[in-house]
Amino acid sequence: MNELLSNESFKTIIPILVGVTSLITAIITFMLTSIFTVIRDKKKINFDNRAYFEYGEHEMYFPIKQESIDTHGDGLVLFGKNGAQFKNEAGKRDRFCTFMIVHNRTNNDLLNVKIKTIYSGRNRIEEEFVLPYWKSNDAIYLFQTDYNGSSHFSTNEHLSIEFTTRSLERLKFMFKRQQNKNYIERYQKRFYKFFWINLINYRHSDFFSFQKLKKR
């Protein structure tokens, strides 16, 4: 009799266990699928909101002429202590200068931007600028000429652009001149406010020139 009851109980429990197992499997599958979907969508949102930069050195007169603005685009001239000396004498004479001009080649506006530039002529000049907002279609003009130097040329030592995207991702683009005179150039992402990881290590070649063509 007891054996009969045990068999009947076992037959009753099996469907329950199968049902519970199926339910647990379905819940786990749903949770994993949801997590993977959230991660995938977050990566796509982050990627779509990132900015990529084009930069180059250009020679022009300061105060900047309209012809140069037409060529290189509307934007902001950033004045540190060195640049302020050029600004203070504006209107008294024109000075031939070198500028690092940076373009954001995406349509993504940037938040909480910190730009650092280091260049050396007669003196080593280090300047930092903080912008709460950088519109994507504004070029950034950075002085690369030492006001007290004997030439408008200088050596680019370092450029970094640290910024927050609209998806609240903190990124940094930078190049740096090393002791062997070679440059490293990287695109980085900040994790947990403590360290940066490289997303892109840019390749470098010997310096070359190019001509940009525009259709009329």
Range of the domain at 180: 50-201
88-119 residue pLDDT tens: 987 788 899 999 999 999 999 999 999 999 99
Q: Which residue has the higher pLDDT, 166 or 193?
A: 166
Rg (CA), the chain: 29
Confidence of residue 12 (pLDDT cuts 50, 70, 90): low
pLDDT on residue 2: 46
Residue 144 lies in a domain: yes
Whether residues 122 and 32 fall in one domain: no
- pLDDT > 90 in the chain, percent: 57
pLDDT on residue 4: 44
Residue 67 lies in a domain: yes
Whether residues 40 and 139 fall in one domain: no
Whole-structure pTM value: 0.80
pLDDT score of 9 more than 80: no
* Nearest C-alpha neighbor of 128 from the set 103, 159, 97, 88: 159
User: How many domains are there within the chain?
Assistant: 2
Confidence of residue 5 (pLDDT cuts 50, 70, 90): very low
The first and second tokens of residue 68, run together, are: 């140069």
Q: Which residue has the higher pLDDT, 164 or 150?
A: 164
Q: Are 136 and 110 in contact (CB under 8 A)?
A: yes
pLDDT score of 7 more than 60: no
Name which of 57-71, 145-159, 190-204 the model is least confident about: 190-204
Residue 215 lies in a domain: no
Residue 206 lies in a domain: no
The 3-state secondary structure of 148-189, one letter per residue: CCCCCCCEEEEEEEEEECCCCCEEEEEEEECCCCCEEEEEEE
Residue type, 106: T
Confidence of residue 176 (pLDDT cuts 50, 70, 90): very high
